[in-house]
Amino acid sequence: MTREKLPPALDICGASFGRFGAIISNVEEGTDAEYRYVIFDFESSSGETPHADTTVAALKTEIPHSPETSLSRASGLRMERVGDWIVAYEPNRHVRDRRALLDDVENLLRYASGFPQNR
């Protein structure tokens, strides 16, 4: 897996799709009002995974502990905790409007944070 462009604290190998070899490109890091984020393109180099050519957003946050909700599933986004990060992606979806993806993920995290198990 190509990792040299991701922050060392983001262990993408801990994600459900990160076990497979991949090419990571178009890495963008930043901070907005609430979160430190990394957004990147993930292209699987293995035919064993359905996550080829996918844009992945990772936001560093301690809450919510369990990010996936019925609303996030209905939106098509898969969300999972990887260490101090929430990783969100829609399999096989390459996103051009990265800011819109980050906004969607932030809104879903705020929603999930309201659940009792995430306080």
Q: What's the mean pLDDT when you consider all of the chain?
A: 82
- Please report which helix (H) or strand (E) contains residue 15, including its range: none
Portion of the chain with pLDDT greater than 90, in percent: 23
CA 112 to chain centre: 15
Residue 44 vs residues 33, 66, 92: alpha-carbon distances, Å: 32, 26, 10
Q: Average pLDDT of 75-83? A: 89
For residue range 50-66, what is the model confidence (pLDDT) as tens digits? 455 788 899 999 888 88
For residue range 95-117, what is the model confidence (pLDDT) as tens digits? 889 899 999 999 888 888 877 76
Let me know: does 81 contact 65? Beta carbons within 8 Å. yes
**Residue 28 pLDDT class (50, 70, 90 cuts):** very high
